[in-house]
Amino acid sequence: MYDVIVVGARCAGSPLAMLLARSGLRVVVLDRAAFPRDTVSTHYIQPSGLARLARWGLLDRLTATGCPPVTEALWWFGDTAVRGFAPPDGDIGFALAPRRTVLDALLVDAAREAGAEVRERCTVRSLLRSDDGTVTGVRYQSEGGPPRTLRAPVVVGADGRDSTVARLAGAPAYHARPPLTVVYYTYWRGLPAGRRHRNEVFLEGDKQIGVIPTHDDAYLVQAARPRDFFPTYRSDIERHYLKAVEEAAPSLAAELAGAERVERFRGSAALDNFYRRPYGPGWALVGDAGYHKDPLTGQGISDAWRDAELLAEAILAHRSGTADWDTALAAYERARNAASALLYDFTCEAASFEFDPMTRQLVRVLAEHREEADRFFGVIAGTVPAERFFAPDNLLSLLGRLPGDALAELTGTEGTP
């Protein structure tokens, strides 16, 4: 009865279901949650992600929820301030940080409107297979109900970093790195109005503090520390969170002292970094299920949307007969990896709190040259190709702008006067 079963209905699952249903496929989505429902995640969406949302016809709906546009980035690397904003993607020259309760419900609605059937409070427990091992469906359970089965030629795991589908399908991981950070965050009201359209990040030693504006005049403030700090952090979250802010961002700490904390703390230390092979006979993975990285650079939501689009194209190519399953899905895996590899490395570098000497010197250039800072933020935002920014000749030309003493420090040679 169905062409595709999608497990998971948030950032990856609902857009995939929407795109497939819009192309005429019969799609069912199962999620153990009922929406709207929050999840442990901060929620900064890059302009490239918003451009994709606009192409899908959903951006106006999101902006209408009253989430303030972010049009300025201010990142502190110790005492060095890098200020700018990503070049626009088409006419999208802003970021947004909507609450996941709002965003995910909007995506679920869009999937339903496109014709996908979304079944909430349904937990997938196992995969059905044919004699040759091809996945042919799922066994699931709705709350308090008996086990049920659903069959389809394609089962997609959009079920997050701890994906049940990936585990049951035996999807191998690669380029894996252990968790590097632990992060806790909460929401504040009463911060200065000057912050309303700014994403501010403080990187100081082994602390990273981030501030983003969201719905209802609130601000999300997060404090990340190295993963080893997790047991200590967890022993008294509020104390260690405030201490990290005080030490890395004293001006922000003073603002929080006069502000109101409006929610409890949430956080995670299970922030593994890995790619998974995203397909096999009858199954595929999308979103965090197939590719997960530390959230420090805010890529996950936008990546999930990019990969939902890529996977939809692959499934449709297979359905239309223009490519066999392995060829279509291998192209999906290659495109996903090519689009994410450089930022994956940069994210792991930032999340290890250890910038190499070249990055530290590059930061000095970015601080002095606003147009280069904009291009750097464009890489994070997905509006400037990472391979162009990180190309050796571009890095050399940036470093050429350093004063002689800094170049000498970097190359270990005497500086020219």
Ligand X SMILES: Cc1cc2nc3c(=O)[nH]c(=O)nc-3n(C[C@H](O)[C@H](O)[C@H](O)COP(=O)(O)OP(=O)(O)OC[C@H]3O[C@@H](n4cnc5c(N)ncnc54)[C@H](O)[C@@H]3O)c2cc1C
Q: How far is CA 309 from CA 56, 104, 336, 378, in A?
A: 10, 17, 10, 21
Decide whether 29 or 367 has the Cβ nearer to ligand X.
29
Q: Say whether 46 sits in a helix, a strand or coil.
A: coil
Phi, psi at residue 60, to the nearest 5°? -60, -40
Least distance CB 131 / ligand X (angstroms): 25
Least distance CB 312 / ligand X (angstroms): 14
Q: Residue 8 in contact with residue 31, Cβ under 8 Å?
A: yes
Decide whether 35 or 364 has the Cβ nearer to ligand X.
35
Helices (H) and strands (E) in the chain, counts: 15, 20
- Residue 360, token pair as written in the block: 């530290």
**Any contact of residue 98 with ligand X (CB under 6 A)?**
no
CA nearest to 13, candidates 100, 80, 103, 111 = 111
Q: State which of residues 17, 25, 31, 328 lies at the interface with ligand X (CB under 6 A).
A: 31
Decide whether 7 or 203 has the Cβ nearer to ligand X.
7
**Any contact of residue 181 with ligand X (CB under 6 A)?**
no
Q: State which of residues 80, 123, 142, 359 lies at the interface with ligand X (CB under 6 A).
A: 123
**Any contact of residue 200 with ligand X (CB under 6 A)?**
no
Decide whether 7 or 312 has the Cβ nearer to ligand X.
7
Separation CA 41–CA 106 (nearest Å) = 17
* Partners of residue 283 on adjacent β-strands: 155, 280
**Any contact of residue 106 with ligand X (CB under 6 A)?**
no
Helix runs in 275-356, H state only: 300-320, 325-351
Q: How many residues bind ligand X (CB under 6 A)?
A: 36
**Any contact of residue 39 with ligand X (CB under 6 A)?**
yes
The answer for 69, left when phi > 0, alpha when psi is -120 to 50, beta otherwise, is beta
**Any contact of residue 244 with ligand X (CB under 6 A)?**
no
Q: State which of residues 44, 219, 241, 377 lies at the interface with ligand X (CB under 6 A).
A: 44
**Any contact of residue 301 with ligand X (CB under 6 A)?**
yes
**Any contact of residue 30 with ligand X (CB under 6 A)?**
yes
Residue numbers of the site for ligand X (CB under 6 A)?
Answer: 7-13, 30-33, 39-45, 123-124, 158-160, 164, 183, 268, 287-289, 295, 298-302, 304
